[in-house]
Chain A
Amino acid sequence: MTEKSFPPGKSARAAETLQQQRQRVMTICRNQAASNVTHQVSEWAPPRSDNTQVHQAELDAPSGELLRTQMALDASRMRYYDLYDHAPVGYLTVDEGGRILEINLTAVDWLGVVRHSLIKQVFAQLIAPADQDIYHLWLKHLLETRVPQMAELRILGGDKPSFWARLDGTIAAAECGATEIRIVLSDLSGRKQAEEEIGMLRADLRSRCAELAASNAELDSFSYSVAHDLRSPLRAVDGFSRIVLSDYGMQLDAQGQRMLGVIRSETQRMGRLIDDLLAFSRLGRQPIENKPIEMESLAQEVFSNLAALEPARNLLLDLHPLPVAYGAQAMITQVWEHLIGNAIKFTKERDCGVITIGARNGDDGVPIYYVQDNGAGFDMHYASKLFGMFERLHCPQEFPGAGSGLALVKRMVQRHDGHIWADAQVGQGATFSFTLHPSSCS
């Protein structure tokens, strides 16, 4: 049993801190049998004085408080390790050379390796070979700029396949002053998978659009050749029935002549239908040019031309200022011709056909042009049929027409990325409104 001889004297003892004294005591205690501890401690009792009471108390007190502090520290430490180890992301710390100093359980789990085998390992080993460049560049950047850096790369997962991860690195200083790099590792597999899916969907969409465009082009071409080929026999029917009428008509009775007349007029009607079909199909095949169009002067011109064809009619144009539009002049002229022509046609029962043309601003700033008339109008119930090919809402005796004009107009407007719609009331006239693509970019 060795005893340390304690230097006598108050000054020597005061020179020691209480902490150091306690440590010495604890060391002695640890080296001795338990039963002797109290004896030794009690045998070595510091010389009694006023201070020693305090000292004694202070010796006693800190051990209790120390214990509590120690426990609190342990608890706190456990809590932080828990947060660290089981974070939803991977935490790791590497030194300047890229060696792993610390790594949390989440990362360990992703990497499929045991924690202790990772410490001191070069992190680069765990990066997929193809992405080594990305990693090293990222590390270099981080060390040079000292500014947080991000990288996306693939990490080897041990038994599991490699996965896409995001590294967010920051520079920090260790307690000893050495540079260390704190890395947050996020699993991007979910996101990468979603990106892949989107890529596939996009490719699918593109190919379907291409198919659709090709199919439309085929349809257009088909309609064109059909219309084209139908013209020839039609001409023969028309021509020969006319010859029969003119050369042999007098040999026919009134009924016979009338029937031959029907053949002729129906043939001509068929010719117009074919022409409309041709015009319609041709619309899909032309590229749309993108020049500015003076809508106001154009509308005025179209109205004047159409009105001149009907000198007997009383027609009034109320033209408001119209903003410039962009597109194909020829097509937009036709749009005005059909809309104004219809307005003139369907107002023929009125003493004065009033046609109002103007423009107002749409919700999205795109101007809406409109043609309003005080004519026969139509039942809104059938509005959806209005723009169908060869669809009519009035019988030919009331108002003539093949029913293709609005279908053509709709197509022309659509080719300008616009919309067309109509509002009307029976007997109260109709308003046709349309938009075209907003600016000079198509």
Chain B
Amino acid sequence: MNTPLKMLLVEDNLQDAELTIRALKKRNLANHVIHVADGQAALDFLFGSGDYAGRDVQHQPQVVFLDLKLPKLNGLEVLRRMRADERTRRVPVVMLTSSQEDQDVREAYRLGVNSYIVKPVDFESFREVVIHMGSYWMALNITPAKQIP
């Protein structure tokens, strides 16, 4: 399984996840999207444990779209752990969440998030945001070479 990973979508709301993936698909940005529905599963995937034991952890996603409110481990905790580990420290994380609470924003940036986006209410704007972000992080943004020495 050597296809390069593009995006890890960590979203517990299945409808939002579906809408996100559909929006990305329409622009061919969703070829390699892995969707997990809680914080623990996200970490399992990133570090090759649990259901994802044996995954090649050298291959990290090009970007992680992370929701804040998640069951088991919440988004900020996932972010913290990602930034604490050498293997995932440099992976871009975009918080895509409904929360506009200032303290959440501040905490996310303190923990090292790359971008913080509030999900628009109406689908049209939501779709546009997903497309913009998808294009930016997966097509425009440059990340270091995939292999980590």
Binding site for B on A (CB under 8 A): 228, 231-236, 238-240, 242-243, 267-268, 271, 274-275
Question: Whose C-beta in chain A lies nearest to the C-beta of B118?
Answer: A231
Cβ-defined contact, A275 with B121, below 8 A: yes
4 further A-B pairs in the complex, CB-CB below 8 A; given A228-B99, A231-B98: A232-B13, A234-B121, A235-B19, A238-B121
Of the candidates A231, A234, A235, A267, the one having the most CB atoms from chain B within 10 angstroms of its own CB is A235
* B-side contacts of A234, CB under 8 Å: 121-122
Q: Does B16 contact A (CB under 8 A)?
A: yes
Cβ-defined contact, A271 with B13, below 8 A: no
* A-side contacts of B99, CB under 8 Å: 228
A-B contact count (CB 8 A): 45
Question: Whose C-beta in chain B lies nearest to the C-beta of A236?
Answer: B15
Cβ-defined contact, A239 with B98, below 8 A: no
* B-side contacts of A240, CB under 8 Å: 15, 19
What are 7 A-B pairs with beta-carbon distances under 8 A? A228-B99, A231-B121, A232-B13, A234-B121, A235-B119, A236-B13, A243-B22
Question: Whose C-beta in chain A lies nearest to the C-beta of B20?
Answer: A239
Q: What is the size category of the interface that chain B forms with chain A?
A: 10 to 19
Cβ-defined contact, A274 with B15, below 8 A: no
In chain B, positions 113-141 with a C-beta closer than 8 Å to chain A are: 119-124, 126-127
* B-side contacts of A231, CB under 8 Å: 98, 119, 121
Chain A nearest CB from B22 CB (Å) reads 7
Cβ-defined contact, B22 with A235, below 8 A: no
* A-side contacts of B120, CB under 8 Å: 235
Chain A nearest CB from B97 CB (Å) reads 11
Question: Whose C-beta in chain A lies nearest to the C-beta of B22?
Answer: A243
Are A236 and B121 also in contact (CB < 8 A) when A228-B98, A231-B98 are? no
Cβ-defined contact, B13 with A238, below 8 A: no
Cβ-defined contact, A235 with B126, below 8 A: yes
Please measure, in the bound complex, the distance between the C-alpha atom of A152 and the C-alpha atom of B16, giving whole angstroms: 74
Cβ-defined contact, A268 with B122, below 8 A: yes
Cβ-defined contact, B121 with A239, below 8 A: no
